A = this chain, B = another copy of it.
Amino acid sequence: MPDRLLVVGGDAAGMSAASQARRRRSVDQLEIIAFERGNHTSYSACGIPYLVGGLVGELDDLVVRTPEVFRDRFDIDARTGHEVVAIDPDERAVTVRRLDNDSEYRETYDHLVIATGAEPVRPSLPGIDARGIHGVQTLDDAVKVERSLSEGARRAVIVGGGYIGLEMAEAFLLRGLEVTLVEQAPQPMVTLDPEMGALVADALRQMGVKLHLNIAVSGFEEAGGRVSSVVTEEGDIPADVVVLGTGTRPAAGLARESGIPVGETGGIRTDARMRTEIEGVWAAGDCVETFHRISRRAVAIALGTHANKQGRVAGINLGGGYATFPGVVGTAVSKICSVEVARTGLNEGQAEAAGLRFESVVVESTTRAGYYPGAKKMTMKLLAEVGTGRLLGAQIVGEEGAAKRIDVFATALWNEMTVEEIQEMDLSYAPPFSPVWDPVLIAARKAAELNAPARPDDV
């Protein structure tokens, strides 16, 4: 009799775990069943804005592997339209509901991987369930947004200016809609510090997005069976389609109800091998919390890369191998029309919360040599620890060629480099790629100068 692995959630983390386990355990050794309540497995949710915006032609382009591929090529039984509604860790069994006929059945397991992902935060506001108000979390959401557009929506309102919200703003602009962003904070992209967020706000305005900052949404009005406006303390904003970019939280309800420990972040707690505190139960992806290597605290960050890596680690381990997930440094990147935004490490608020003393510099530079055609403006902000000069975080707002430089800072953070060390590095230079001092080096140098102890000759 082979062991049996059950996977709850058929997207990045779950299916990575399943695939890795299969690589190490043949079908004679391990039976694998994955349950997915939606209609798709293993897809790029990050691609949804580009699908809606028309940059990606087909929904199928976002699907990495279909259930058929998993079955035929990997001997993994991926069951869409199946929702796991209960876990019984003592009996090592789950209860599964078939969404097509609402019937339920039990399956037992030797190993269980919980990969239930994240769920959009849906503020409990009057009218929020009106037609035309969408989260953007699953491919099924994409289909619903598309339906709103095909029904003739002209005015889009984005509630919440995080990555997904702004990427959807781009999508609607590309589709020719009027786009309004309502954000409770004084700036979009609250994971950036205010002066960097202000650059994003300026860019959004230039693209034609109407910004309502510092304004809370109090509800939604309906007309003719669908949303007609977003109600705010400063008046109503007409809307034919609304996207909730109000963030996500780990979808850890099932785990919590089943007695699987969940941390203060709301994410399932695991060790570095992705084991929960319950024997035989693993967890991976947006539903878990992980270790932030700079703040040294638990964080819950919903991101496909982490989900893929964590799923892979879980799959290797439960397949009998050894792997660990070493935590994150909080790297993120996004593009909204011509503006690129990236960050890694801690911003000012996060550094304060972690009890770190820091200094910061903001440096303007260009993506290429100033004289080279297509050189674009970019602004970088660095945070460095007072005294040690250790890099704590970096933020970039710029145009084409700016944002991917964040990976150098992410690598520097990973290695706990000081800004003094960073400024010395041998980074690539040629006029089509950077000024002779790459902006990364300039920013590090400015930060190092701030941090340098006064020397006798400087007095």
Contacts and interface: CB of A to CB of B under 8 A. Distances in A.
A455 B323 CA distance: 12
A224 to B, nearest CB: 35
Interface stretch (A126-134, A281-289, A354-362, A412-420): A412-420
Interface stretch (A44-52, A86-94, A106-114, A207-215): A44-52
Among A405, A424, A426, A440: residue with most chain B CB under 10 A: A426
A372 B328 contact: no
Interface string A352-392: 00000000000000000101110000000000000000000
Contacts of A372: 47, 50, 55-56
Interface stretch (A138-146, A179-187, A188-196, A430-438): A430-438
A421 B327 CA distance: 12
A331 interface: yes
A338 to B, nearest CB: 11
A237 interface: no
Chain A interface size band reads 35 or more
Interface in A283-331: 293, 303-306, 308-309, 319-322, 325-331
Interface in A10-48: 12, 24, 44, 46-47
Interface in A390-405: 401, 403-405
B410 A328 contact: no
A406 interface: yes
A47 B438 CA distance: 15
A407 interface: yes
A332 interface: yes
Contact of A436 (B12, B414, B433): B12
Given A320-B457, A407-B405, A332 B46 contact: no
Given A24-B457, A308-B437, A322-B455, A426 B344 contact: yes
Among A326, A403, A411: residue with most chain B CB under 10 A: A411
- Nearest 8 pairs between A and B by C-beta? A333-B428, A415-B415, A61-B371, A411-B411, A320-B457, A335-B432, A305-B429, A328-B426
Interface of A: 12, 24, 44, 46-47, 50, 55-56, 61-62, 163, 293, 303-306, 308-309, 319-322, 325-335, 342, 344, 369, 371-373, 401, 403-408, 410-412, 414-415, 417, 421, 424-434, 436-438, 440, 455, 457-458
12 contacts: A50-B371, A55-B372, A56-B373, A305-B426, A309-B424, A321-B455, A331-B426, A344-B428, A404-B405, A404-B433, A411-B415, A415-B415
